[in-house]
Each structure stands twice: as structure tokens, then as C-alpha cells.
Chain A
Amino acid sequence: DTAVSQTPKYLVTQMGNDKSIKCEQNLGHDTMYWYKQDSKKFLKIMFSYNNKELIINETVPNRFSPKSPDKAHLNLHINSLELGDSAVYFCASSQRTRMVSDTQYFGPGTRLTVL
């Protein structure tokens, strides 16, 4: 009964490859997010989707393309992977898009290592 799940948990790949990370939430939330946590644990938002629509894009390189087939899923596809993409990627969701008091629920993270 995991609320926010991500697959895979670990991803090791070579530079230049293309990879995807999947996220699913079973909370019935409208909004989903992708965050990147670097090696120093700094956590920064990348994207936010509301009901399949992109609402926040934090000047992420266009090699990163989020896709939301429905409001319960938000996948992250990364083209031409670079060493600097190595990080832990977290998916999150919240119930109501414009409610600033809403809690965001985080997935367990995907540790991406680019060799």
C-alpha cells in the first residue's frame, strides 16, 4: 500500500545513454513533482505537474523530459546522460495544487549513477 512508489531504486548506466524513472502515487493527488538531490544532499525541485499538465519547470536542461500519462503517474526520461546527472531523484505528490499548506509526500528515491 505504498503511497508514492518509484522504479527503479537504483540505476547505473554509461554516459550518453537514455534512461527513464517511473513514479506512481495511489493517494488520489492532483499534483506530482520531481526533485533532484545531489551528492551534498541539496534538494531542488525540477518539475511539477498538475493533472497531467506541466506547471513548474525549473530551468532543467531539455535532456530531461517529464511525462504524465495520467494524474497518478509522472515519469522522468533523461537523454544523453552526463556525469553530472548522478544524483538521487525523488518523486513527490500533493493533494491540491494551489494550497500552500498542503503536505508533499515523497517516494523512496532513485539513485542514478552515471559512469
Chain B
Amino acid sequence: GAGVSQSPSNKVTEKGKDVELRCDPISGHTALYWYRQSLGQGLEFLIYFQGNSAPDKSGLPSDRFSAERTGGSVSTLTIQRTQQEDSAVYLCASSLSPGVYNEQFFGPGTRLTVL
């Protein structure tokens, strides 16, 4: 079946503008994760959704970042008033259910460039 998809693939924006990044997880996967990969760095956890539970927002770097997951499926990561340090690749992953054993399947990411 289809894997995790993300859109857009690339996004260029001007400093101060808002952006929305979309993630479509694998059908039936209840857990969804967002990570950020800055140039030359590993992946940094941002937020985690599991079913109808309150999301784990502990990785969000500032209140300019927010995310929602509608109907337990599609998720949108919103960055308000973008800054140049927000430039990174934003990766989404999903897994069948929570649990450390369950594999996280990653999407191809969205490369965000803030000018």
C-alpha cells in the first residue's frame, strides 16, 4: 500500500509569513510523529499524536509552532511568523500503534527554506 506522504516537497517562504506542512500517514496507523532535521543535524522530535489522546507537544521549540491531526488521520504542522532558523527538513512518521517495538515509517519530508 501507499507509504507516508508529505506535501509540499519543498517550500520557500519569506521571513514573517505563516506556513502549513501536511502529512498523510499510512492508512490505519494510529500514531503520528513530526521531526525536524536541521542542516548537518540529526532528527529532533517535535510532536506526537496517538489516537484521541492529548498530543505530546514537548518537542515544539516555540509557541509559533503548532500541529493538529484531524479525524485521526491527516496532520498539519503550522509555523507562524517564520524565522530563518526554522529552515530545515520536516519529517513525518507513522506507526501502526504506539509502543517502542512498532516501526515508525517515515515520509519523504518537506524542505522549508525561510528567506
Q: Do A and B come from one complex?
A: no
